Amino acid sequence: MARLVDLAAHAIRPIASGIRLFMRPALRLWRLASLRSQTKGSIPVTTQFDGPVTALGRGEVRLGANCRLGRDVLFDTSEGGKIELGNRVRVNSGGVIVANVRITIGDDTLIGEYVSIRDANHGSASGDLIRTQALIAAEISVGRDVWIGRGCCLLAGVTIGNGAVVGANSVVTRDVPSNSIYAGVPAKQIGSRTPGTTACLTIPT
């Protein structure tokens, strides 16, 4: 029986490959149309999709040319904020970008899997329920040619300069200068980008 199943799977394989090849452009158009229908703003036809992408809210999402979005990326502008990505930005699977005011990401920036970028925090004054307190929002700006490692969290009000690197699983609570390497919780400078060197995207112990 196992032999028959194996032979059947082998025979069907080229058919399945042909169907997948045929369906790929149609699936890409479907995802493009779906994202456009979910948000105001601009989603170019050059946008690439690795899987389903969701947009929530009444704000705007604007993408530059040739951006690539991983599976299960979420854009949220529920408070009327604006999200702007430059050209050739890569947001990997599970990325969450939530704008209450404005989040901008420059050209050629790479964002690793499961990165959270949120420009607002709950108030936390004593005596009141945290969930009932007003959100405190401040713009986030990420420059050009930035590499944000897997699992990072960028908090409200931070600016990341051009060419910076943020190590995996870091929490960014302050501005990151251009061409610097930051890592840790909270993220601190651990180095600078220089020609011929390789950045280590893990938190130092």
**Are the CB atoms for 88 and 107 separated by under 8 Å?**
yes
Q: Is 160 exposed, middle or buried (0-12, 13-18, 19+ CB in 10 A)?
A: buried
The structure tokens listed for 200 are 């280590």
- Enumerate residues 6+ apart whose C-beta is below 8 A from 159: 140, 141, 142, 143, 175, 176
Residues with Cβ within 8 Å of 104's Cβ and at least 6 positions away in sequence, in order, are: 84, 86, 139, 140, 141, 142
CA distance 137 to 122: 9
Which pair of structure tokens corresponds to residue 69?
Answer: 């979005």
Give the active site residue among 13, 24, 58, 122: 122
Q: Can 10 be counted among the known catalytic residues?
A: no
Residues tagged active-site? 122
